[in-house]
Each structure stands twice: as structure tokens, then as C-alpha cells.
């Protein structure tokens, strides 16, 4: 299961509720939203993340860590609302080893 950096909430539902409030307050949807993930350098993990974004308007960039053990993935995606942002995070959270920033 993925983990989210700087999550003060032990309960995922509380975290997503808080995230929804912050997204609604600070974003003007629909808009481009920036997702950042760190994954073990494994093309299978990157493919799993990319499948989450199938059918969505997005751009993908990646960069390997200095030692090559991890890959930082950045995905700029057009989203309609805070619910869609959270839905994408929840789908990525099901991928083992992914750190969401």
C-alpha cells in the first residue's frame, strides 16, 4: 500500500476528507493538477501508475534517483473536481511501494 508524506491523519478517510477541504479551498476546478510519486525503479510499478491515468488528459515525466533505486514520477493531469483528484490518489494508493508526495 502506498504512503502519503506528511499525513497527520492515522485514518485514511479523515485524511481524504481534510484533503478534499483543502483542494476545494485552494483550487479552481476544473484545472490542471500536479501529482508526484516516488516508486522503486521498476517499469511494472510505473506502468501500474500510468494505467490509473488511462483515458485522462495528462503529461508524464520521470527521473531516476542518483543511485537508480527509485524513480520520481510527475504527472500533470486535467481534473474536473476535488473528488476526481482524490479518486486518482486512492487508485494509486493501491499500488504497493508507491510514495505519494
Domain ranges across the chain: 3-100
Phi/psi class of residue 68: alpha, beta or left (left: φ > 0; alpha: ψ in -120 to 50)?
left
Rounded distance between C-alpha atoms, residue 13 and residue 35, angstroms? 19
Instruction: Indicate if the pLDDT at residue 6 is higher than 50.
Output: no
d(CA 27, CA 43): 32
- pTM, to two decimals: 0.86
User: 5 pLDDT band (50/70/90 cuts)?
Assistant: very low
List phi, psi (to 5°) of 81: -165, 175
Please give the grid coordinates belonging to residue 31: 484545472
- Quote the CA–CA distance of 29 and 81 in Å, as a whole number: 5
Output the CA torsion sign for 27, 32, 68, 95. positive
CATH placement of domain 3-100: 3.30.70.260
Residue 69: Cβ within 10 Å count? 10
Q: pLDDT-derived band of residue 1, with 50, 70 and 90 as boundaries?
A: very low
For the chain, give the number of residues: 101
Amino acid at each position: 500500500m502506498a504512503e502519503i508524506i506528511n499525513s497527520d491523519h492515522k485514518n485514511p478517510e479523515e485524511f481524504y476528507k481534510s484533503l478534499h477541504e483543502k483542494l476545494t479551498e485552494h483550487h479552481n476546478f476544473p484545472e490542471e493538477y500536479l501529482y508526484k510519486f516516488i516508486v522503486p525503479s521498476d517499469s511494472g510499478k510505473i506502468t501500474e501508475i500510468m494505467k490509473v491515468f488511462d483515458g485522462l488528459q495528462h503529461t508524464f515525466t520521470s527521473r531516476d534517483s542518483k543511485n537508480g533505486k527509485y524513480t520520481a514520477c510527475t504527472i500533470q493531469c486535467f481534473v474536473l473536481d476535488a473528488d476526481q483528484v482524490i479518486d486518482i490518489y486512492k487508485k494509486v494508493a493501491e499500488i504497493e511501494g508507491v510514495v505519494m508526495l
